[in-house]
Amino acid sequence: MGDEQAPDLDITRAHGARIYDYILGGKDNYEPDRTAGEESLRVWPGLRIHMQANRAFMHRVGRFLAAERGISQFLDIGTGIPTPPNLHEVVQAVTPEARIVYVDNDPIVLAHARALMTSDRKGRTAYIDADMRAPEAILAAPQLRDTLDLSQPIGLLLIAMLHFIEDDDEALRVARHVIDVLPSGSYFAATIATDDFAPEPLARVRDLYHSHGETLRWRTRAQAQQFFEGLELEEPGLVQMHKWRPDPIHIGTIDDADIAMYGAVGRKP
Ligand SMILES: C[S@@+](CC[C@H](N)C(=O)[O-])C[C@H]1O[C@@H](n2cnc3c(N)ncnc32)[C@H](O)[C@@H]1O
């Protein structure tokens, strides 16, 4: 694939988005990514189950918001390398007219963005190459303004993202800034990394991330709850993500110690 050979994509070094892709069973990864992925799995064997559960949470939230809350506009900040089904595939299966704006700041995700542009003809998708730390720029981007009607409810997703911001106030500012501009009736969904359920192996995971120069901030339940202040939490509230409206077939099949994220969905009153 020509795009993958673009000069700014260094495939000689392991890379976060491609490690995630490898562990999820994707094909957009290289030897250094696979080596780093295997290293992480040795440190914490739960990692694959955890990542799969994160992706499954995103699918359930998309279906829930589209089917049960009538949301047809989505802003997904921190999309990741496309892995079917992507958010637009999930929500357009319910509402073909749905419009989805994806945001990521990684050139690797940008190189694969055409896989996100496969919108149903009745709806639309767009991609913004931007940093979540600059929410003002995301909200002002023409791709967003041309795709979403900000006077109507939006589903905002920050899935497996907030742990990349070490500073708690900064992470809250980023999420708040976007939530504040959304109209009443909008929803905010997030997964927030925590070491509450397996502190020892997860301390080693954090050390490994830090040794690769990557940020990884674990947060307590109380800290995770802060992201949803002022919002009305949908049942069952803030829980480990595999316990948020699980598909009946998966209930009881996942060990809590293998899940290092809280998940919740809140409605803006
Ligand atoms: C763990 S993946 C999550 C992907 C997807 N949300 C999911 O849950 O499957 C994290 C993604 O966030 C992106 N990312 C990390 N820091 C970012 C930032 N400051 N701004 C925008 N995207 C960022 C990475 O490039 C990567 O694609």
158-199 pLDDT tens trace: 999 999 999 999 999 999 999 999 999 999 999 999 999 999
Nearest alpha carbon, ligand 1 atom 12: 78
- Place 8 in a pLDDT band, splitting at 50, 70 and 90: low
Residue 81 Cα: closest atom of ligand 1: 27
CA distances from 31 to 38, 206, 235 (A): 11, 22, 42
Amino acid making up residue 87: L
Nearest alpha carbon, ligand 1 atom 26: 80
Give me ligand 1 centre to Cα 80, in Å: 5
- Give mean pLDDT, residues 7-34: 84
- Taking residue 175's Cβ as centre, other Cβ atoms within 10 Å add up to 23
Q: What are phi and psi of 191, to 5 degrees?
A: -115, 140
Give me ligand 1 centre to Cα 109, in Å: 9
What is the chain's mean pLDDT, rounded?
Answer: 93
HEC per residue, the chain:
CHHHHCCCCCCCCCCHHHHHHHHCCCCCCCHHHHHHHHHHHHHCCCHHHHHHHHHHHHHHHHHHHHHHCCCCEEEEECCCCCCCCCHHHHHHHHCCCCEEEEEECCHHHHHCHHHHCCCCCCCEEEEEECCCCCHHHHHHCHHHHHHCCCCCCCEEEECCCHHHCCCHHHHHHHHHHHHHHCCCCCEEEEEEECCCCCHHHHHHHHHHHHHCCCCCCCCCHHHHHHCCCCCEECCCCCEEHHHCCCCHHHCCCCCHHHCCEEEEEEECC
Give me ligand 1 centre to Cα 40, in Å: 18
- Place 16 in a pLDDT band, splitting at 50, 70 and 90: confident
- Residue 195: per-residue pLDDT: 97
Q: Is the per-residue pLDDT at 113 higher than 50?
A: yes
Check residues 11 and 66 and name the one with the higher pLDDT: 66
Nearest alpha carbon, ligand 1 atom 27: 80
Is the whole model's pTM more than 0.85, yes or no? yes
Give me ligand 1 centre to Cα 96, in Å: 25
Percent of the chain's residues with pLDDT above 90: 78
- Ligand 1: residues within 6 Å at CB? 17, 20, 54-55, 58, 78-80, 104-106, 109, 131-133, 159-161, 164
Tens digits of residue pLDDT in 207-260: 988 887 778 999 999 999 999 999 999 999 999 999 999 998 888 889 999 999
- Place 15 in a pLDDT band, splitting at 50, 70 and 90: confident
Tens digits of residue pLDDT in 68-83: 999 999 999 999 999 9
Percent of the chain's residues with pLDDT above 70: 97
